[in-house]
Structures are given as structure tokens and as C-alpha cells.
Structure 1
């Protein structure tokens, strides 16, 4: 059974129909859920609220009552603890974000209950891949291609996060990302639409659990609505321009899946979209989000994004920016303070209808009611739960599982891996060998780097003789070390095998960290070249928050592992794979390019009128760069284990009716000597359509574990509406014609067929 289909069966029946549409089909015309009527309690509060109190409920601010110490954004509107508490008592704050800890949350909530109407605060945070216990970055987790794992990881993170006095996370990020220069690739699920859709839904279900009123329920906020992943040139916060067909086919579906799974909030994108910043873009935030998708939750601005409408050049001043944001569909202003300062006067002057403010307040209060905060303002503010859940054995066990499952083996010449635990002298060389400062990666929120286990610790714990490991940095992340190269070369020559731990530092990926050249830093590349020149076999342990363009000794190393930023359990996870304790099962959720200049690039790109043949990708007069073919070094889905698989007996119908499901099955056999897990995926290409279609695009996938010599038949199902497209006239439809079909279970295991839709 395909993973997307299998995961769907876990969903509550009341959501299954709409979720099937969002996960497996086009689904853009479907209303996700009926609009909820506000309760009598909420309506009664609205009638009693002053304009100032309404504006307060629509405002969230950085938590200065219990700050975590990390600074993620420019300082805007600082207040200090005492002033913050005074504003809370005056009803001028609806939510605090990026604070942590039960003791401070109790103080802040007690202040809210001293306000005139006693409306409780909600507490939120950017918990993207763990709270105190840091998990792999979301892009790494996506490499597992396993929505059940993502759901379990999100559930574990939710238990620990809510135990620290947080109700709401600004996650998951569901932006499809095809440009690896963009730093925020690290926060999402990569370049494929289906994988993004399935993991968006799984993460929402995991964060929120079965009941939002439970103390361990963490409200999810899929972001950034919409199109942020297509910023021009891969530059953070830059403009976005695309066709509405591309928006609907590629960037909207993960949001539809997240909303169908029950997400109660979303966050608007920072960016200009087609000349109108999203924070002021009513066609996107009202017509598309509320109308077409039927979303009835809370839409939060990104940090200071409403005030930034002035810098965008579409707002004359702060009051004008607040007016544009509320009328576009922003319900809650983050950090700028514009709603508190300007909404009352805007309503009084008639520039903003009071009905628009009331509707936003209605959504915010309804969400607080859904979270159970009116009935229990101190829900999730329990010191006993904080002690029990924070850094528990269970959450660390889950973090290690996710980290191990995230690693992708990209190259393994002559079966260099797995390594034996005895009899080999190993040199661990590179700036990340004994480094803990960069384990967690970007947006690790409340994590403590000293809790992490580095690669050296993980490898030593696996060796029968820990003295068989020598460790040399060789260089820094971007700077040389005096004598570092010489010591590294000496260590390599004295070893039987070299582990080369190189790549990006934690501050080179994530928000605000776009790169024009997505390469290994030059000083590390130089280290790789001299180490390779010793003639010792090299295993590259690549650390990164995006796909990288690899070159020279790094690209050509006998063994290459994509290890991302794996968080607290980095060392044990890498050691598990290196020594064969766990089979590598990860696959790339993003394509590794031949060169930085290929960006943006994705495996499901559309063909040109002059495609280059596979047999001669540099053929004259065909589509390629002067110095690189139009293909990836390692495309989406690449990865291998310590065994191999073969496919046979592909079965699919010759003809299907439009809208009918397409059954696909294939025999999968483990032809290697070890038990392993195959990722079986089905890709399609629509040969002739009213708009040009992707050269191939994944439509279903499943994982199957087989012992050596074992064979099984894997059945997958492509939902009929997964064949739909946004046609040239702007409507979703399934067009008749022939579809090419490929079933793949690894780089060298593929079988092809075709069917026709009538």
C-alpha cells in the first residue's frame, strides 16, 4: 500500500474525504471544512470589548516575560518585562511568542487574568524541529519519506513543547522549494509537491493530536502562505512572480493538505507577490485562502511584515499599513504593534469597518476557545509535566530514530561502507568532527548545543577500541587553522580510512542565509583535496541545510553521506549508519545540482522544445548550459542502502476512465546480502496536454523492507484526480490521453509502462 494511502487510513473518518482530495488529488476547488459559527461566549465578549481591547487581541509580541535569549529577528518595539506585563493587564496583548518555561508563562497568564475581560493569552513559538530536544531539520526528516515517522516526531515534539508552557507552533513550513540558494529550504520538505502534501498533513496531525484542548496539543501553523519558496534569485524576502496555474499546481496543495488535516492557523508570507506584498494581498489572503480553500482559522502576519509594507512602497505610513493588512485578511499582527496603535482610530475615522475587526477578533477568540484556554487558562502550564517531558528518554529515543532515518547514502564504491568495528584505524578529519556548536542547525529555538552528541563521541562509542580513532579539525568552517592542514594529512596517512566531516555551519542555512554559490566553503574543499591526495579511502560526512553543488575530491569520494543538520543525536545516528547497525534508508527530498548556476532546478521541470537526449546531454543545439547538462548530480529520490533491489512484472491497466483510480503493482526483490528497505515510487508524465507537463512527477510511493533474496508484490494506487492539471483556461480538469509511467526502487532499479485515460 502506498504510504500516502496508508497514512490516510489513520485519519479520523470525518476528515478522510477532504484529506484524500488534498493529499492525493488536485483538490483546489474543494472547501476544506464548513465555516464555524462563533460560540455565544465569543459573541458576548465581542459585544463588551472596546476597540482598544479588540486591537490587543489581534496583536502578538515577542515574549519578554520569559525570553529564551536567542535573537532571530531585528529588534522591533522592545518593551521589557515590566512594561510587557502592564500591557497584558491592560488587555493590549493577545499572544506572546518565542518564550519558554512554565514559571514565566504562569506569571504572564496571571497578568492576563487581571485584565478587564480576563481573556487568556496564547503562547506560541517557532518550534520547527524540536524545542529543548533538537531533532533533525525538517528537510532532513523529509528524506525518510515516511509520514508516519513525521507524525510521531511531531507528536513527541508537541509533548515536550507544551510541557514548557507553549500552545502554538509556527510550523510546519510547507513551502515547496526548488531553489537551493534560498536558506529556508532547510525548514521544509523539499522540491516535490506530493511529498510536501503528505508530510504537511502528517506534521499537523502530529503536532495537534486528536483533541486541541488536551494539555499536550500544539496548534500547527502551516506557512508561509503562499509562494515564498519561489523568491527571485533564491534571495531571502525577495519578490515572487508566477502564473496562477503554477501557484495552484505547485505551491497551494501542501497548504490544502495541512488545512484538511485540521491546522487552525496559517502565517502569511513576507514577500511581494506579483507586485502586491502578501500581507496586503486580498486576492491571496481572502479570495484564495478563505474562499477557494475554505480556511476559517487565524492568519498571522510574519514578524513585522505589516509595517514592512511601507518599505515595499505600497503603504504611506504605519496607519496605512495597518489598514491594508486588516482589510487583506491578516487577523493577528506580529511584533510591529501597528494594530494596537492604529486600528481604533482607523475604525473611528471610517477607514476600516468595525465588522472587519470583529471578524478577526472572532477568529482569534474562537481559536483560543478551541485550545481550551477559556475553560483552563493554565492549560499546558504545569511544572510537573515540564520536569517529566523535557529531555525525556522517550523523546531522545525518537530524535535518534529520526536522525538515523534522515541520513542519505549517495555513493558507496566497492562497498567501502559499512565499516568494521574492529581492525581499522580511523581518522576523523574536518571542522565538524568534534563540533557541537553546529549540530542543531538553524532555528533550534530553546535547544542547548551542549546537550548534543558530536560525531567523534558517536564513533568512539561504536568502536571496540576507542583509541583507534584520531580526530583533527584541519580547518575552520570558513577560515584556515595554523598547522591544521599538516596535522590532518599526517592523521590521514596514519589511518586505514578517513571520515571527512565537512559542509555548512549552522548559520549558513535557514532564514536570512541565502547563498549565491551553494558549495562547500573553499577552505574545506582545499582540506578535502589534500586528504584525498594521501590515497586513503575517504568517507565524506556532509553537513548541510540544502542541496549543495559538489566538486573535486568531495564529489568523487568513494563514499558520500548526506547527513544534514541532525540535531542532538547526530553522533549516534551517523555511527549507526557508518557501522551498519542501521541500514541507510534515506532518499533525497531535493536535487543536488551539477553547479550553483542551475538554480532553480527540480526533477519535475517541464521539457523544452529542444530537450537533450539522455545519451548525449551536451548535444549541440539542445537544451543545456554551455558547461553543464540539464540534469542533476543526484536528483530527487536518490539514495541507496547496503543492499540492492530489482523490479519485475509491472502491472497497470491499459485504459482507465477519467477520474478513476489507477492501480499499479510491481514485484520487488532484494538481490543483495543484507536486509534492506526499498523506496518504491511511481512517476508519471502526461504526453500531450493543453499546458506542458513535468517530464516526470511522483504520484505515489511506498516503503518495503525485505530480507536477502525475499520478494514481494507492492501495490500502489494513484488517485484519479492526481492526473488533473490547471488547464490553459485556468480550470482544474483531467484531460484524456496517454501517460508514461515509471516505477523506481533505486538508482539502477526502474521499470516503465504506459496507460491511457479516456
Structure 2
């Protein structure tokens, strides 16, 4: 009787589930039908120029607008602009009001670079990825969407999902590092956070996946530079995060600046139509990056009229700030270079995005001054920013248990970033110091309490290199609120002051690294070491023979070989955001035990770049004895700090891997288990990482690839069995025919604390 009852319950549940799915499908189909009818009806009333206006994103004359003018509203009233940008509530409201004075009253898309927060700023995305916590990453995007949407923004140019293996590229700060599997997980979390479950809700915003595609592989790590790679590398290593984001439902995409197969992405029909539309079935719209259409002329593809037509035919739907679509497509239509169907396709996709966002029902859906007053920098948002920042930090070294600091005695906090605020925000923020609730000095005072005396000194300029300094005083840097302070003192005078305030300190915290203007767009560096002015300060501090803790504030992996050999404790804090000062102090004092792990390799030298963990074997792998193998004469092959690396204030021990079987067939499942033990005296989290290697295949495969992880909290002395389920999905790759499949054979399985420190096992799996 019990079995019969169980079967009946199971049958009822299946019936209910089927009904829910069917209702969802029918509801979605009905909504699509309503949208199609609405958009088709609207387009039947539109003139050619109004259609071209919808596929034109313009902020007018940017320089003039920043100065308070620019004629933007008049162009909007004429129906010449379908989307624009904006940060202040008043400016956005004025633009939307102007749209309501146009003939058809079509609302605007309001886009903004909400990259890692809107007003409450979270760690840079590279730092977010080092949390290894998709719930926290999604939470950061949800808060960003909540604040941005209250301010009038309904569209964010984020997430940036470009895979990069070159830390010289400034925009590594905006991405999730070097691994395609983890990059895909982060991309999906960001899409969920921004878009929620219903784009028409007033607290969600549309995501724009960028930069499609391969921008992170710019040669020499130099921004806007050429990309050259084969399709196997594209599909196996660089494209997965984009596809994951689109599969998650991202509403839009942004084309990249670089070439692909020698054709700029913005004019690349194979990429934009064959891959994105036909293979991946993406149904959103594609916007260019800033003036990317115009820049195809520099690539050698023709004048503005020619490249605008090329972009539209390739599958681009909106021109950002280039005036190519609005200015040339009518002529191209008349001479047959483009068709009305091409223009209608792009216009319809843009109008559909506005429909999905609920803008036709209420153009002011994303303008709520009362909500903005309550949401922006809300206490719970700042608390989340502090929590997430602490989770993003990576402990790189902790010799002699220098950390955590004691909440007593005298602490000297020294360095050009010790009292900085705007620099803690990192690149791509439109807010100023008012969004930062504490510098590092203030954070140490706040967390340390009344028994800690804190003294501080600048000690050095960010840099004294005239060439580098020249690049840090651009109008862009000033607009972002990053200033280079003019110093009348000499470098030695500043060092002497730092030594004086540190003379009777119990410990020195040196806060060094990069200003916010040293990473991000157009901020590539050939030398990614700590600038010499700061290293001179650090050397002087070490000569005091006091314990020195190096806190790095920066937007990329750095070459810190010397520092790692000479400084007893190093904490990678990235650019940690609004609550960064307090969060750094939380980690330094041990209120939070660091558990972050690197998602991008730290090289020993720029000569190793590109350096990444999931490389292919060479025909002559490294051999310490045999000279004629792949290696350097002057440094080891291995990086300074590998992918997945990060220490804790406690220690963990891994047992050997136990497999439920070593020979599998078909769609069986493999269970891999290790026993993890906290062997230290503090509670702590460990990121247990699973990698798989495919040593014999139809093409050469990486030595190992990340396929899963678990973040495990253990009390002192506690043990836990950590089990991973492996399926044939984890074995798949794109073969030489670009078919995504797996092949029978032997596989290696690795579980450990980083990509370089793992336990190893093997199994055979046949189809």
C-alpha cells in the first residue's frame, strides 16, 4: 500500500510540474505575441529617420555635456536618439521627458557603466571573482541594479566576461580572470543579479555582455590592440563565458574593438550572426562599443558610410556615439548597400528591449527619487559591500604568523594609499570619495578599537616616473575623481617622515600598489611591478626590522617577486570599494579569516606573460636536468602565485582522493571524495578545487581544467568528507570539427587547494 501511495504522490507531483511548465510556456508565448503585435504596430507608424534614431545611442557632444550643454535634448525631441547615458537623477529625467515630447513618444534606454556597483561600490570584478562565491557575486549585482534603477538607469554595460591571460592589460580589473569555467559561473551570477526574474520590475536592469568577443586576448596586453587566435582556442577557452551569459538570458551584448580572423568584431558577420544568432540563438540586441563603427576605418575597411553598412549587415543593432547609423544608412538604403529589412531588424530588437523593460507602460519606471534617497548607500548595502570586500581578499604570505594583528599597541599605517579613498573604488565608477566610508587608516582605527594607537605617513608618491605620471593626470582620471597630489617634499623627506612615525610602532602596515587610474580601460602597463618610489619606501621600512605587513591595493596581478621574498606578510586587497578600509581592517585583525583564492596567475616576471594554469603540454615538457626542454635560463617556469592560490589564518590537510569507481561507461556518474581537515587553531573556509585532465585525445588538451569547487567552513580540528559528482558534461570540449563532445579514454582527476597543489587520481571512461 505504501508503494502505491508513493507512486500516486509521484504521479500527482509530475502532473503538477507539467502543468506549471505548460502554463509558464503558454504565458511566455502570449507575452511574446503581445510584444510582437505592439512593436509591429509601432514600427508601422515610424518614419525611416525615426527608425534610425532608435538604433542610435548618443550622449551628444560629451565634452559639452560635461560642461553643462551639448544639445542632447533637442536631438531626443526630434526622435534622433533611441538610447543615451546618464548618472544624475535630473539629467536622466530631463532626457526621458524630452523623449515624451517626440512625435511617437518612444522612451529612451538609459545606459551606464554600472560595473561593480552604482553608488555603493563593491570590489572590482577581478576581486569579486576571488570570493569563489556566486551568491555574494549575484548579491553585489542585485544591489547595483537596485540603486541604479532607482536613479533612472535601466541598462548596464556589464558584465565584462573577457578571459585574459595577460595582466598587463588594464581591463583585467573588470573581468573574472583566466578560467573559462569559473568565468561562466560568474557571468551567470551577474546576469541573475542585474535582471532578476522579470525585467519589467522597476528594480531590475538589463545586462549587456561585453566585449563580444575575445577582447581580453589583446596582443602585448595593450588596450585596443589586435587579437589573433584559432577557432579551437576561441571555443574552448575564450567564448564559454559569453555563451553562459546569453544562455542565462542576458538582454543585450556589446561588440569588442578588436579584430577576429582579421575582421573587426563590429563588422564580423560570422561572429555576430552565424555564432551569436544562428548557433547560440541569442534574441537580444547588439550595441557597439564607443565609436567602434568609426574605428573600422582605421582597420582599413572603408569610410564611415561603408563601415556603417558593414556593421548593420553583420548583425549590429545599435551604434554607440558614432553617428554612423543615423548619418549614413539612409544613403546606403538608397544605393542598395543595406535593405529596409536590415534596418527593421535592428529597430525591432531595440524596441523589444524597451518593451521588456516596461518602458512603454511607464517611461519613468526607473526614476524614483524617494526610492533613490532610501536605497543609495543604504546601511544594508554598505554592510554587504564590507562583507563581500573581506571575502575577496587573498592572503599571499603570512610568515611567522605576522597576521592577524593584535587589537593593542601602536600600528604605523604608511604609504600613498593609506589615507586614499577614491583609489579604493578602482576603475569604472562615476562617484567620488563620498561613496567611501573609510580609508585604510580609518578602518584600522574603527576595527582596532580604543587599545590601538594608529599613526600614519604618506611615505612616497604613487610614482615619481614622469612617463607614468603623465598617464595618470588625464581628464578621464580627474572625471573619475582620481587626483595626483602635488608634493613639494622630496622622496627622501617623505621616507624620513614615515620612518619617524614608525620608530616606536609595534608593527608597520604598508599600503601600496596602484592608483585607480592605473588599471581599467586605456590603462595597460608594460611594467606591472610596484612603482619604484613605493618600493624604495618599503625597503626603508624593512630596514627598521619591525614586522611589516604589505597591503596591496591594485587592479591586476603584479610582479612582486622581491616583495614576496622580503616582506613577512602580504594581503592582496584589490580595489575593495566603498567599505574597503573597514574590510581590510576586518581581515588584518582576524575578524574575518581570509579565504579568497586567486582567479588570475601572478607571474614572477613580465617575461613569463602570458602565463596561465590551463596550458597545453609542449613536446618537450620542463625537465630540471635536461637543458633541451621548455624553460627559462634565468627564472623557474612556475608562476609566483598560481591560479586558485590563497592562504588562511588556519591550515588545511587533504586526504587522498577516493573514487566510487575507476572504470565507467556511458552516462554513469563518478563520485570523487577527499577528507578535508582543519589542522589549525582557528575556524576557516577552504575552497576545495576539482580539476580534470585529458591526457590522450584527438587534439592536444590542457594539463588540467577547473570543473568544480566547494567552499567549506571547518572549526579547528574538524574533518569533513567533500564529494564531487563528475558527469560526461565535465569531459566535453570542442574538437577539431568544432563539435562539442567527449571522447573515451583515460582521465586525470585533481583535487586540492590550488591549481598547483593537488591530490591526483585517474579513471577510464568509455562511451
Give the alignment's TM-score, normalised by structure 1.
Answer: 0.91
Higher mean Cα deviation, 476-485 or 735-744? 476-485
Secondary structure of the residue that 2:655 maps to in structure 1?
A: strand
Match of 2:45 in 1: 48
Select the residue among 753, 761, 767 that pairs with 1:753.
761
**What is the Cα deviation at residue 83 of structure 1?**
2.0
Secondary structure of the residue that 2:412 maps to in structure 1?
A: strand
Select the residue among 243, 251, 255 that pairs with 1:268.
255
Match of 1:222 in 2: 209
Alignment map for 1:374-389 (pairs within 5 Å): 374-389=360-375
In structure 1, stretches of 5+ residues that fail to align are 1-12, 18-32, 65-70
Alignment map for 1:486-505 (pairs within 5 Å): 486-505=496-515
Select the residue among 596, 600, 620 that pairs with 2:610.
600
Secondary structure of the residue that 2:116 maps to in structure 1?
A: coil
1:573 and 2:583 aligned:
yes
Select the residue among 629, 645, 649 that pairs with 1:642.
649
Match of 1:30 in 2: none
1:192 and 2:175 aligned:
no
**What is the Cα deviation at residue 632 of structure 1?**
0.7
Match of 2:411 in 1: 426
CA contact (8 A) 2:164 2:178 kept: yes
Distance 1:718 1:177 in 2: 27
**What is the Cα deviation at residue 570 of structure 1?**
1.2
Higher mean Cα deviation, 744-753 or 586-595? 744-753
Which one has more relative contact order, counting CA pairs under 8 Å at least 6 apart? Answer: 1
**What is the Cα deviation at residue 563 of structure 1?**
0.6
In structure 2, stretches of 5+ residues that fail to align are 1-16, 22-28, 465-489
Secondary structure of the residue that 1:698 maps to in structure 2?
A: strand
Higher mean Cα deviation, 123-132 or 444-453? 444-453
**What is the Cα deviation at residue 47 of structure 1?**
1.7
1:128-168 deviations in Å (ceiling 9; x for gaps): 01111111100001000111110111101110111111000
Aligned residue pairs total 715
Aligned in 2, Cα 1:40/1:695: closer, same or farther, shift over 3 Å? same
CA contact (8 A) 1:736 1:757 kept: yes
**What is the Cα deviation at residue 415 of structure 1?**
1.1
Secondary structure of the residue that 1:593 maps to in structure 2?
A: coil
**What is the Cα deviation at residue 343 of structure 1?**
1.2
1:489-520 deviations in Å (ceiling 9; x for gaps): 23333222111111111111000011111111
1:531 and 2:536 aligned:
no
Secondary structure of the residue that 2:676 maps to in structure 1?
A: strand
Distance 2:168 2:368 in 1: 42
**What is the Cα deviation at residue 370 of structure 1?**
0.5
Alignment map for 1:253-652 (pairs within 5 Å): 253-315=240-302, 317-422=303-408, 424-448=409-433, 451-465=436-450, 468-479=453-464, 481=491, 483-553=493-563, 555-613=565-623, 616=624, 619-652=626-659
1:656-704 deviations in Å (ceiling 9; x for gaps): 2355443222221111111110101111111111111111111110101
Alignment map for 1:178-257 (pairs within 5 Å): 178-257=165-244
CA contact (8 A) 2:286 2:315 kept: yes
Match of 1:729 in 2: 737
RMSD: 2.3
CA contact (8 A) 1:658 1:736 kept: no
Distance 2:451 2:493 in 1: 25
Secondary structure of the residue that 2:57 maps to in structure 1?
A: strand
Secondary structure of the residue that 1:222 maps to in structure 2?
A: strand
Distance 1:742 1:750 in 2: 6
Aligned in 2, Cα 1:276/1:353: closer, same or farther, shift over 3 Å? same
CA contact (8 A) 1:658 1:734 kept: no
CA contact (8 A) 2:491 2:533 kept: no
CA contact (8 A) 1:134 1:447 kept: no
**What is the Cα deviation at residue 81 of structure 1?**
4.2
Aligned in 2, Cα 1:387/1:35: closer, same or farther, shift over 3 Å? closer
Select the residue among 120, 125, 150 that pairs with 2:137.
150
1:299-343 deviations in Å (ceiling 9; x for gaps): 00000000111111112x111121111011110000011111111
**What is the Cα deviation at residue 380 of structure 1?**
1.2
**What is the Cα deviation at residue 534 of structure 1?**
1.7
Distance 1:633 1:92 in 2: 53
Select the residue among 81, 87, 90 that pairs with 1:93.
81
Distance 2:246 2:680 in 1: 42
Secondary structure of the residue that 2:688 maps to in structure 1?
A: strand
Match of 2:475 in 1: none
Distance 2:164 2:31 in 1: 31
Secondary structure of the residue that 1:439 maps to in structure 2?
A: helix
Distance 2:347 2:435 in 1: 42
Give the alignment's TM-score, normalised by structure 2.
Answer: 0.90
**What is the Cα deviation at residue 437 of structure 1?**
3.0
**What is the Cα deviation at residue 76 of structure 1?**
10
1:249-277 deviations in Å (ceiling 9; x for gaps): 11111011111111000100011222111
Distance 2:703 2:185 in 1: 22
Match of 1:670 in 2: 678
Higher mean Cα deviation, 77-86 or 746-755? 77-86
Higher mean Cα deviation, 473-482 or 681-690? 473-482
CA contact (8 A) 2:555 2:575 kept: yes
Match of 2:485 in 1: none
